[in-house]
Structures are given as C-alpha cells and as structure tokens.
Amino acid sequence: MNMRTLTIASILGIGCAIAAAQVISTRLEARLAGAGKGKAKWQLVQKGREIQSEFEVEGERLPSNTSYDVYVGDQFIGTVTTNGFGAFSAEKRYLGANHPNVAAGMTVTVANTGGVVLSGVFAAR
C-alpha cells in the first residue's frame, strides 16, 4: 500500500465514522400554572460528541416589572423580569456538556421571595 492509497483510506474511514455518528434528541415541555400561566421547553440534541441544548420559558398574567428566579428541580436556571404587561420570555442556550440535568418528570418553578407563582412538570412532547 503506497502513501496515496493510505491517505485515501484514512479519509474514507473518517467519513464513514462521521456518517455513522448517532443523533440523539430530547424534547420536553411543561405547562406552567399558578398565579399566572406559561410554558417551558427543553431541547437537547447530541450528534456524536457535539451537544447543543436550549431552555425556554415564558409566563403571563403576573405582576408587572417583577423579577423571578427560574428552577428546574433544584437547579437554578436564571432570573426573569416581567414587562409592564406582566409577561416575560427568556431562552438560554448551552454548547457542550455544561448544561442543566433535565428529564421528564422534573418540576419547573418560577418564584421570588413572595413564593412560587408558576410551576409545571416536564413531559415528552
């Protein structure tokens, strides 16, 4: 086998390995209820060693210009603030393995020092 044949064989081998990479996708959704209403979504896509995930949350019918902390289980996701109409919307994207551990059956909570205003449970969609 000469060097050219070896190089072509190597390139073909890499192409086959990439083509064979398995894609794993998880999509979850939670309807949020309480003092207002809303929803949360989680999507994770893993293609080979590449992982991309996204968390989205939105709420409405809440007190205007008020800040709330968002949790999935006991994991803090971030803080949202309602607008003048009492609504909020936020998304957070993650690249790689550094993302919250999210699974069906986990509770999404939107709360502040006054208590929980929205909550719901993730389910497959």
**Structural domain boundaries of the chain?**
23-124
Quick one: pLDDT band at residue 125, thresholds 50, 70, 90?
confident
Contact partners, residue 101, CB within 8 Å, separation at least 6:
73, 75
* The listed CATH number (3.40.50.150, 3.90.320.10, 2.60.40.200, 3.40.50.1100) that belongs to domain 23-124: 2.60.40.200
The CA R_g of the chain, rounded to the nearest whole Å, is 21
Q: Which two tokens stand for residue 77?
A: 């996701």
The count of C-alpha atoms lying within 13 angstroms of the C-alpha of 71, restricted to the half-sphere facing its C-beta, is 15
Quick one: pLDDT band at residue 52, thresholds 50, 70, 90?
very high
Contact partners, residue 25, CB within 8 Å, separation at least 6:
43, 44, 45, 46
